[in-house]
Amino acid sequence: MCPILDLLGCSRDEFIANHAGRRLLYAPKAAALRMDLEDAADLLACVRPEKIRVFDSSREQDVPRLRDGSLDFGSIWDCFYGGLSIVVNSVHQQRPEIGRYCRDLSLATGHRVQANVYISPPSGSGFDVHYDTHDVIAIQLHGTKHWMVYDPPEDVARAPGRFIGELDKERLAETTRREIALTEADALYIPRGHPHKAVASADEPSVHLTFGLSPITKVEFLKAMVDRCASLRPELEEPADWNLFFNPALDSSELWEVVAASLSDVSVSTIVERLRRSVLRPFPQGNRPIGSVSDGINDRIVPDHGARWSRSETGDLEISTGIKAVRFTGRAADIAAEVVAGSSSAGRLVSEFSTDEVLSVVRTLAGIDAVELRASD
């Protein structure tokens, strides 16, 4: 069961067969979620500052701050009432109920999922006409927002974060456009690559929630297979024929035989499971996020022994799961080395390093699925 797909009025199989990546889907009065401006203000007050952004029709503005660097919420709301839209990224990290929706969507679709909240003043629009390289499910939480969604022009490249230029806008005029007004509790699915724009109604503010569904690409799958090959066959770390660089026409059949044999050693199910763990990155569970060391200082940190790591002569530590990689320096490298060396408790690490240092490293490792936090027995 997936509550978000349920509110779209279709099962997982129906959604994948008839809509996923292809067709728009509108579901009126489908959601029980609500968030008015007062709720939105509460949300702003509890998210990390870097998650808050301010936009004026596609142009990002500086987020107002006080002299001490903290957010100036009074000025942020002045921006809002002056016509700017507020975007809160990754709300699934702060709101456990939204985190559970994201996890359910990930389980149902095999996609990475994150959730953002968009707060727009009357007639406000955070972005001009654009398309995303991920699928979107939008749920209207408060007010009304008018959506214009176009069929994707065949000759428009799907570059990440692409806004439609003036020439492309002329081409859009030749494509099919649907106009949909989302009122409270309405939901809308927009496949990746479909240009769209959303504008709040003129008589009241709008708050809507979006779930962004990012697919695992074929390139990621291939990278994961190659990384797994390297862990199974140390000889792949040996240098290739020196002459290959200078003579591309050189017979490379031996090299390809090694590559083919290595790939045949890889279990597809192992790769799928690793990708699955990547998709199901920690979402809030219960009343605290998974990965919160400060709230669960006695949690056991269990490393993924499939992760590869290496330490440079300067002491830097690089860790890769085949999907993502991260580099640590200084004391952070020492903490990360302790973690990947074997299962240990956050509490023991805090006895040697500061809580903030341990928290930062462990959260980073959990974010790339190099470790898992488990409650102590």
For the stretch 255-292, pLDDT in tens is 777 778 877 777 778 777 777 777 765 454 433 333 33
Q: Which DSSP helix (H) or strand (E) runs through 65?
A: none
Residues 170 and 244 in one domain: no
Domain residues for the domain of 261 are: 218-279
**Which pLDDT does position 343 carry in this prediction?**
45
- Dihedral, CA of residue 103, residue 105, residue 106 and residue 107, to nearest 10: 90
Residues 303 and 235 in one domain: no
CATH number, domain of 67, equals 2.60.120.650
Residues 288 and 362 in one domain: yes
> Of 248, 263, 279, which residue is a domain's last?
279
Average pLDDT of the residues in 113-140: 89
> Locate tokens 């008839």: which residue?
18
Residues 194 and 99 in one domain: yes
Query: Looking at the 3D structure of the chain, how many domains does it have?
Result: 3
Q: At what angle do helices 330-341 and 355-367 cross, to 10 degrees?
A: 60
Mean of the per-residue pLDDT values of the chain: 78
> Of 279, 294, 321, which residue is a domain's last?
279
For the ranges 30-34, 116-120, 309-313, the maximum mean pLDDT occurs at: 116-120
For the ranges 45-59, 130-144, 166-180, 314-328, the maximum mean pLDDT occurs at: 130-144
Q: Which among 5, 30, 29, 1 is positioned nearest to 19, based on CA atoms? A: 5
Residues 369 and 232 in one domain: no
Residues 233 and 293 in one domain: no
Average pLDDT of the residues in 103-108: 85
**Which pLDDT does position 342 carry in this prediction?**
61
Residues 58 and 174 in one domain: yes
Residues 247 and 347 in one domain: no
Coil, strand, or helix at residue 310? strand
> Of 214, 229, 255, which residue is a domain's last?
214
Residues 24 and 99 in one domain: yes
- In this predicted structure, the answer to whether residue 7 has a pLDDT above a threshold of 50 is yes
Residues 252 and 291 in one domain: no
Residues 249 and 141 in one domain: no
**Which pLDDT does position 355 carry in this prediction?**
72
Question: Exposed/middle/buried for 261, CB within 10 Å: 0-12, 13-18, 19+?
Answer: exposed
Residues 202 and 237 in one domain: no
